[in-house]
Every structure is written in structure tokens, then in C-alpha cells.
Structure 1
Amino acid sequence: MHIQRVERLNENLLVTFSDNQTGEFSLFWLRDHSTDATSLNTSTLQRDVETFALPDCPEVANVNIGDNGATLELHWQDDSISSVFAADFLYRMAFNAVAPPAYELWASDLQDQIANFDFNDVTESSAGFLPVLDAIEKHGLVTFSGMPNDMQATKKLLEQVGYIRETVFGGLWDFSNNEAHSDSAYTSVGIGLHTDGTYTIDPPGLQLLHCIAFNGEGGFNQFADGFKVAQTIKDEDPEAYQLLTQIQVPAHYLEPGIQLRAEHCVVTENSQGQFKQICFNNYDRSPFMLAPAQQRAFYKAYGRFQQLINDPAFQVNFQLQPGRAVWFDNWRVMHARTAFSGFRHLAGGYTNREDFISKILTLREQTPWQQ
């Protein structure tokens, strides 16, 4: 994007871009967003300008279009400061330019296309881990091979994103069918598709499962794209979809000395109308009641979500064996496990959603002024 011309209109600048659209920027906003060294800390990118000490209409001495339209440079009259703005940044601010979703919806067609990475290859450097993060952003699901059969490998993989999240299950955890916690994960029974942590105010972002040992039959891991299911309901029954985005569903986790409670909508969108988060766990749902008509409509919508995630057409599945791991986006991908016999030992852990976002933005070298 390039700037064609700039005009002054009262307390604003009218900036016309190469697509002939004109954005209107107040002089106050432009001064507040100056990236010069006295206004913005160059190392932390924290604002240093005293925003509310600025005059209501900061006066500009000169306005120049630079770099063949790629930048706009303002010389402020009162404090002799120069502010340089990239045309792309101004365009994005003016028109709230919405980038296409970073995710791609999928169903059973992903079965043979799940991105797989070699453990040694992707843990050699932070930069080498970017393709893993790209794949998680795209599909919310990746697998690993060549995993050493110990928890140090689990820990090393998790720490490629950030610190390991502590929960009631610990930080780095391992589990088998030993009933160590009041959770069906610590048994050998089948577990239906769900997201973890619906009973927490901030559900875990990513979840890693690493198979340490398995001597038995069954125990297939199943996954479904919650975004795909949400889009399907949005297309077929907009009213049901609205309920899933509006009704806060309570959930709980109880064991001696612990009582966790939270409530979330099944589907959350971001400010741009793109899918942001799925929270669905019928096992952990707490008692709550709505007005009769809304209650019937909710059960219908909630039941439709449950029906679709259990449709094989929306699922992928595989059996984790020793040396294999799967990492998935718990804000998007539903996971399940079929019943099994014998002994099954898995290790794993959670990382926060913001740490995943932080790592991917850092490796891409994106800041709020550049993305």
C-alpha cells in the first residue's frame, strides 16, 4: 500500500491511499502514536509520550510523503519531533483491515495430512520450531515422531513454546490408568470428545500428549475441529449458533480440597468475527437452568454440537505408540480417547494460549506496528 496525497481538514489529516480510499486521522491520534525515541521506548515498545499532556490539537509544521509513498512524515511544531508512519500501518488502522483467518477448517479429510515432525529436528533451535507453530495455527493439530521415551523429552518439547502451566494435575504430568485423580483420564474407560479446563477461568491453550509406554489394545485418540463444527452450525441454523455464542455454560472440577468453577460460551468469536475459542465438555457441565423456551433451544443447539463432533465425517483418529506425541490447540480442537485394555502410560502438559501467540509473533518478528 502507498500514499497518494495528504490534505489538512480542521484537526485531521486526510490520507488517500493507492486504492483511492481516504482515511481520516486526527492530529492528536497521530502524535499519540508517534514512534520517535522520545515517544516510544525502542526496546520495550511501551509508550513514553504523556498522552494527556498533549494539546487537544497538536500543530504540525510540515507533512511529507516519503519513500515513493511508503511512508508519511510529520514534523511537529511545538516539540520539534518527527513522526514517521508506514503507509501499511496507517491503512490497517484506518480501515480495520481484516486479515483472512490464519486457520483452515478441516474434517476427516485431514486424516492423511496431519503435519508430523521429528523431535530432534524441531528442538535444535527456536527458529526451527516455527513450522510447528505455523501448522498448529493452521490446523490446531500436529504429531511428533522420534520422541525419547522419557519425560525430559516431554518437557523439552513443551518449553519450545514457553513455561509449562501449573494446574491441579501439576505442571509436567504423567498419567496411566491408576485413578490417581478424580478424572476419567486416569482410568481405562473411553472418554468422549471435549476441550479441557472448561471449569477454569482461562482454559489451557495447547495440550501435549506423549506416549511413554503402551502394552494393550484400544486407546485410539480422536480429534475434531471445533471451528469446523461451529461453522457448520452457523451455516445450517444461525439461531442455534447464536445461542452457542451467547449462553455461558457453567462447569466444575471437584476433588478433596479443590473446587474449580467457571463458565464459558461454547463458541467465542474475536472482534473481527473469526473463531477464537471453543469450550465444550458435557462431562464437566454444572447444573444450570434457563427459561423454558430458551432451555429447549439451548439443548437443541448444544446437542447438535455434540452430534456433529461424534460424526466420523468430522473426526481424525490414530493410536499413539511409544515414541509418538500429539500437540493440539485446546481452544479449538476437541479430543477423545477410546477405551483400552492393558497398561498405557502418557506424559504431557499444558502451555498458555498467550505464550503460543507470543512465541509465534516473536519468531515472525511481528510487532503491533508491523503485522
Structure 2
Amino acid sequence: MLRPQILLASRHLGPCVGPRTGASQLSRQLPILARRAYSDSQPPAPSTTPAGDTNSPSARVIPNRTTGQNASGSPNKSRGLFRKVRNKAPSPPPAVLDRTRLPSSLHSQMPNANLLRLRDACQCSLCVDPDSGQKTFATTHLPNKPELQSAELDGGGSLTVVWENDPLSGGGTHESVYTPEFIERWKETSQRKLISRVLWDRAMLEEELDSCRVSYDDWMAGGDKFRDAFIALHKTGLIFVNGVPESETSVEEIGRQIGRLQDTFYGLTWDVISKPQAENVAYTNQFLGLHQDLLYYFDCPRIQLLHCIANDCDGGESLFSDGVRTAMQLQLQSPEQYATLTSENVSYHYDRNGHLYGNSRPTIRDSGAGFVPSVWWSPPFQDVFSSRTKVNRWHRAAALFQRTLEAPENLFEYKMRPGECVVFDNWRVLHGRRHFNTAQGKRWLKGTYVNNQVFQGRTSKLLAEFDSHQVKESSHDMWVAEKEALDAQLGGSREKGPASEEATISEQAPAAGQ
């Protein structure tokens, strides 16, 4: 094919090419000849450039063999080797499916629809073992950018996605079907929802106390009233179960309605009763200030249950305070002190009877943007401060935190009666007790714990079972609502300032008869 083109082009060269033309000269001319021959073989493109317009970008500055000039009017030294060539307008490319993302019409149903995340979540029997429910592959077995062939949402709300070049299907296609239940879970994972909380003071809790009670029979039945009580536990962090049988196993039965109990070195259950040479101040009749249990554990209990079996002695009133409310109050009134308590860690430890535990935590846990999921406060088990801790700065902030916790308006005091079981959030609600007189009567509580993972798992299962999505909101929305409500309760806390320096409850005189 090249030889006819060369012969065709040679007609324009005249004496420039002949038998005695050097090989090097000919090799230099060949590319030019090929382009020229190709140009001659093409029909001229219709021109849209006005006559005489040599500045148009579609008119190249190429020598014109007829005039001997190029398009700018300069002399043509190549003597007719080239002619003017005009560019064709490019044709629009054919429509092609974007195989790297879901169609935009599906974004509202599937927010944050990363294709690797979506392919990895396939629930078919090839990808998830039907018997064990476990994945049959590692995410790394998938390509970084799975290829999409099609995606369609049917009338029932299920999404069907077909993948191309799928390695788990031998390089062929793979079909994934995502049910409406899965899509709802996808949305929940994208923006985790939480049950809204009520940040309470003493007056508020006393007013809402009836809604924080449930009978033992209703709790054990696991129906609507159990669900309502469980949601109340999320909202206030504190509920009471009434009519509990006088049995040492009753607290286990109540706890197992939430899930598996958390075993500790105290045992699966334990007794809060006064005894000599106690290994824990709780096992005495002494005053016990507000605190949280087992902060020296990495996995400290989330839920604590205390069943009152006997309490007929003088004193021994239980004390409760909403630690998250106190933290939020400091966030509003004393942001600098709040920042200190979120950044400075405090060490906790336990070293008795062959058990050695230790852990460190900030007093206030801020998960970001001011949202407070928990607080940590347990003076009896506080360890030596780290040399890195700014102790004096922490002390000033912690003193304000304690005064606010123990302020009379924030402290709920309640004497438990036999047959009652208090269930409270150990990550939020601090508890304590007043001194009691052991000369007459008896005070005996039976306790157990549930860890956070069990509690959260029961919550998710319960809400899915009862379709209670209306009680949930995002952590950011929750924080905004809590902050606005608390600010209104405090009467414009930013202007009011921090809590006054009142005596702490540990310094107050004991109640009559103690």
C-alpha cells in the first residue's frame, strides 16, 4: 500500500527525486510524502470560514502549493508541497454507562454509595455462608473499583446490582440483591441513629418518675411495656423495676432480659452488704460519694442493676446524678474548664486480693463537635497522676465538675424499698449512698452488670423488632436539641455563669438517725 502513495507523491517533486537521489534525502521525504498522499486521497471538508479569514483557528498555517504562499501570506519556500487543510468538527461520543458509580437517581435510597463498600456487602449465598452467616471472602479479594453493569430498584424497594468482571464469579457477572431492610441498615450505618436523651435534674426526674417505673412481670414478659421501659432507660439513664421477688436470683433474671451478664472478679452477681475488713468501701456502712463502677476496667460495665432485698435500717438513701447533664452544663457555662476535663486523662486502679487492674480516661468524653456520650468519675479508685497531666489545671476544672454534680438541684435522693431493682447507665449516671446505722436493721442489695456491647445489641434488636425509628436521631441533632433544652432550663447559662461554690455532699451533716 505504501508504494502507490510514494509514486503518487513523487509527481509533485519533479527533479527532486530520481535515480540518483540519495537514500538519506529520500528517507527524510518519505513521512512528508505519505501525509501528502493521504491528504490528496481525502475529499475536501466543507469550509465554515469566511473568505479571506486567515486568522481562523480552523485554517492552519500550511504552505499552499498553488500560490506559493502560506496562509499568513509569507513566501512559500516549499514550493507547493502542502495545501491548506481545515479541521473537521469532532463528533459527540456515544452515551456510555458510568460503571464507577450508582446512577444519580438511586443516591437518595443509597447515600454514600461507594461501589466497593456495596459489592463487599453482598448477602448472596456465594458471598455469605447460609449456615454460619459469615463472609466467604476477604475484602481484598475484590478489585479496588468494582465494575457496574446495571443497577435497578424494583417496586418492592429491593435494589438489584449486576457486576462485571467479578473475580468471585470467575471473571463473569455477579448479581447482588439488597433488600429494603438492608438498605435501611445501610442508611443507619451511614449516619448512626441514637435514642434521644433527657438531661435531668432532681425536679425533672421526680416529675417523670412514674414513667421510669415498670413492674417485674411486664419487664420479664418482654412486650410493649418492656420496650417502653428500655427506651426510658436510654432517655434518662435510670429506671426502677417494682414487685421483684425476694430471691437472690431475681437480679440475674432482670439482667438477662437485656442480655448476657458481665462477669468480673466480684463474680457474676455480688452483694452490697456491710461486713468487717471490706475489700471495697461499698461493703461498709460508710458514706459513699458519687462515682461510677470499675473505671479501671478497659470494658467497664455499661448497665448496673441493684436489687433491694432488705433496707430497714436508718439512713442508706441512694444518691444519683446525671453526669452527662453536668458535663453539658459546663460546656455552656465554663467552656475552658470543659475543655480541660475532655483533654486531661485520670488514672484509675485496683490492687487487692491478687487482682491488679489499671486504666486512664478523661473526666468527660467528647466524641466530637461537643457531643458527650459519657463521663468518668470515681475518686475512691483514682491512681497517681501521670507526670504528663496538668494537675493544677485539671483540679480547678474537676472541683467545678464535682460541685455541679452534687448541687442540691442536680442530686436525686431515694431510699430503695425491698422488692425494687434500680437499673441505671453506669457511663452516664453517677451513684452513691448515705451512711446507714447497722446497730438496728439491715441493708442488703444484690447487684450485677451488663457490658456496653450487649446493651447496644439489645437496643438495635429491640428497635428493629418494634420499628421504633421515630425515637431516634443523629448524635449531632441530639446534641443540638439537648444543648438548647438545657440552656433554656438554666435560664441563659452563658450569662448566668458557673455553679456557685457550695459544700459538697460529702461535707454535709448526716441525716437524722445516721
TM-score category, normalised to shorter length? 0.7 to 0.9
The 8 Å contact of residues 38 and 49 in structure 1, kept in 2 or not, is answered as: no
Match of residue 166 from structure 1 = 263
**Residue of structure 2 equivalent to 1:99:** 193
TM-superposed deviation, 1:272: 7.9
Matched, 1:308 2:393: no
Query: For each residue in 1:64-89, what CA deviation from the matched residue of structure 2 results, as whole angstroms up to 9, or x when unmatched?
Result: 23228x44321123343322345555
Q: For the residues of structure 2 that align with 1:209 and 1:90, how far apart are their CA atoms? A: 37
Q: More deviation in 208-217 or 35-44? A: 35-44
Residue 3 of structure 1 corresponds to which residue in structure 2? none
Please give the TM-score of this superposition, normalised by the length of structure 1: 0.85
Paired amino acid for 1:306: Q
Match of 1:175, SS? strand
1-structure distance, mates of 2:307, 2:194: 33
Q: Output aligned runs, 1:17-96, within 5 Å.
A: 25-41=113-129, 45-67=133-155, 70-78=157-165, 79=169, 80-85=173-178, 86=180, 88=184, 96=190
Quick check: which one's helix share is greater?
Answer: 2
Q: Does the Cα contact within 8 Å between 1:177 and 1:187 map onto a contact in 2?
A: yes
Q: Find the counterpart in structure 2 of residue 208 from structure 1.
A: 305
Give yes or no for contact 2:102–2:151 (8 Å, CA) kept in 1.
no
- 1:283-340, Cα deviation, whole Å (9 max, x unpaired): 2111115568x32221112111111110121122210111112111101110010111
Cα distance between partner residues in 2 of 1:205 and 1:356: 7
Please list, as runs of the form range in 1=range in 2, the aligned pairs for 1:159-238 lying within 5 A after superposition: 159-179=256-276, 181-238=278-335
Among 103, 106, 112, the residue aligned to 2:207: 112
Is the CA contact 2:342–2:363 (under 8 Å) kept in the aligned structure 1?
yes
* Separation of aligned partners in 1, 2:194 and 2:436: 41
Mark the structure with the bigger radius of gyration: 2
Query: What corresponds to 2:437 in structure 1?
Result: 341
Looking at both structures, which has the greater relative contact order when contacts are Cα pairs under 8 Å and sequence separation is at least 6?
1
Alpha-carbon distance in structure 2 between the residues aligned to 1:8 and 1:228: 53
Q: Which runs of 4+ in 1 moved over 6 A?
A: none
Hey, what's the Cα distance between the residues in 2 that align with 1:22 and 1:117? 39
Displacement after TM superposition at 1:18 (Å):
8.1
Instruction: Output the aligned Cα RMSD.
Output: 2.9
Tell me, yes or no, if the aligned pair for 2:101 and 2:148 is still in contact at 8 Å.
no
Q: Does 1:355 align with 2:449?
A: no
The answer to whether the Cα contact below 8 Å between 2:288 and 2:434 also exists between their aligned partners in 1 is yes
In structure 2, distance between residues paired with 1:168 and 1:49? 39
**% identical equivalent positions:** 25
Amino acid at match of 2:283: Y
CA distance in 1, matches of 2:367, 2:456: 15
Asked if the contact 1:233–1:240 (Cα under 8 Å) also holds between the matched residues in 2, the reply is: yes
CA separation in 1, counterparts of 2:380 and 2:206? 26
Task: Give 3-state SS (helix, strand or coil) of 1:252's partner.
Answer: strand
* Distance in 2 separating the partners of 1:275 and 1:45: 35
Q: Take 2:446 and 2:388, find their aligned partners in 1: how far apart are those partners?
A: 43
Equivalent residue for 1:4?
Answer: none
**1:352–1:26 CA distance, 2 compared to 1 (3 A):** closer
Equivalent position of 1:299 in the other structure = 395
Name the structure where strand makes up a greater proportion of residues: 1
One of 341, 354, 360 as aligned partner of 1:257: 354
Counterpart residue identity of residue 356, structure 1? F
